[in-house]
Structure 1
Amino acid sequence: MAKKSLAEKMAENSQALLQTLKPNTINSFSTTETIKKNIVVLDELRDLIPPLLEVEYLALKDNLIKHGCKDPLKIWRTTKHVVGQTDSSDDEIYVLIDGHNRYKLCTELGISFNIQIDNFESLKEVRDFMIDFQLSRRNITPQQASYLRGLRYNSEKKELADNLKGGIVQNENLPNGQNVHLGENPKKTTAQELGEYFNVDEKTIRRDAEFAKGLERLDPVFRKEVLNGKAKVEKSKIQKLGKTSEVLSPISSVDDVIAVYNQIVATEQIKGEESPQKSNLELQYEKLNKQLLKACKAKKVDKGTVQKLKETFEAFINSIPQG
């Protein structure tokens, strides 16, 4: 049976969510109330929720006061071990996965709310569900959508890298998005598949990934201000933060973003001046070398093709004047 692509898996998961994530029936009133009093908010999941503008938050507050909380809050019933709070405990834990703003307001205002228990296998599965769910909402801004798509790509890339290190996946897309399949029908990269799933091109997905990485360099409070538009920062500057491998302290202001950005650009310019430009000879050598490596890695390759490449390579070497 042919292996399903990432896009196919994601599409199937989305279509099946309403059927497979059926709420568990809780017959006991006391049990329900106990769960509601012990709801846990995980920072990494809460931060996936696009922050509301002040006017939106006040409108939600006014609506809850007037009409109550009609839609149930989604709760993930799992264990402390699964969410990484302990290595061995099987103690149940009730994690909030949708309705964070409503939960905060209802708790503060003493407004009653209902809950729906959903089942997931892992924290990653919950993250993916929350990202897809947020991206389906109409009031999401372009920057928020970019951030969420970038998070999804980085998550898939990390999982693939972990699997490759563990020997679980072979001949799959490399973590950097490059393709190791060199046959007639090479597999799509993760960026290509996510691009098709979210209806954007793969370059957009890669830029989204840089944007998400850059936002992760920001202080959580400042990050929310950037995402809800309160703090105005050029997207290209945030992406530049995501490209650097330097360890940066959490950035907490627009001025700090600009200062770090300028420092990164200046460092790149210095390195560029220190690195001499490659000659045409060196570039030709690298191109031929890559062709040889590509031919050797291919599953099916004509021996005559390899021999021709070798002869061309040798002729190239022999053509270089002796120093």
Structure 2
Amino acid sequence: MEEYRIDPELNEVLPELSNADYKALEQSLLTEGYKGAPIMVWGDIIVDGHNRYEICNKHNIPYEVKSVEFESKEEAIIWMVRQQLGRRSLTTLQRIQIVEKYRPFYKKKAKRNKSLNGGNKKSELEKSTTPIPKEEKVDVRAELAKDADVSTNTYSKGVKILESGNKELINETISGQKSINKAFNELKKSADTNKTDNVSDPDGELKDLKEIQRKEAAQKIKEVREKYGIESTEYENAKAEQLNVEVRINEIENTVHDAQTSDIESMLTRIQERYCNYLLMFQQDVEWLLDKEFYRDDEDVSGRMHSDLQNCFEKFKSISEVMGKMVIDEFGCITINK
């Protein structure tokens, strides 16, 4: 039987089976033999079915192989990701984790399109001011979110969870024990607590840094330069002190911005919940009213009443739908998803 190999780079594209799932697959193959889709190979490289291949070889179980052709490893990775997204019963964070493998390809495409629309290179084509057609522009986050079948807001939250390094939280979210929103809120709460501990009086410290320490650092650089010269160790140390001041200013300003964004997001969530509750109650009221008969002097009163209530309900419903699409983007601004 021909031997095949597992490419480390391609293998990283796919989520690992848990020990329990691996053992269940092994037991199934031992009991029932090889069934289902064939093991897919590109040349001598396995692109789908590496766990089944490994188990079958271990126990000398016959298996089926089918070849597929790709022009590049990039094309193979895209195919593998799509196979996994279409076949497995994946949690939301697992889909995001898999789709993140696409990011280099979308960024590469976005960079290429940007250069064609007037990038930094010097070719006449890249200097062109002719805009790229809308369909050729690449919104990396939007494309990735579309592939993962989630909103851009959910996708961004998922990426932050994966990048947090909090293994316990990541595993709980991947397994489905926690939702993306719940895990993200826990992560944000932890980060806000740490920032609060580091900045007890942000306004006071920021004022001191900008009005006093920044000036002192600049004055020290001037004095050291005149006394020792720009090649001296003293000058380098003074420049480093100035950089530390600017870094600290940036840290505090970002902390304040993040806190403001968190407050906006919290308020937006409350408003969305209120509108959702209002809509539900209003719908129940309208249904009750429309079930009644309204008569005064003539039937026109009844017709107008029914029509006005229905129109009011439709308008309120459309407002609620817009509210539900509002999200906080990465810059702290409220946007409406289409």
Larger Rg: 2
Shorter-chain TM-score bucket reads: 0.3 to 0.5
Task: Tell me which protein shows more helix as a share of its residues.
Answer: 2
Instruction: Return the TM-score normalized by structure 2.
Output: 0.44
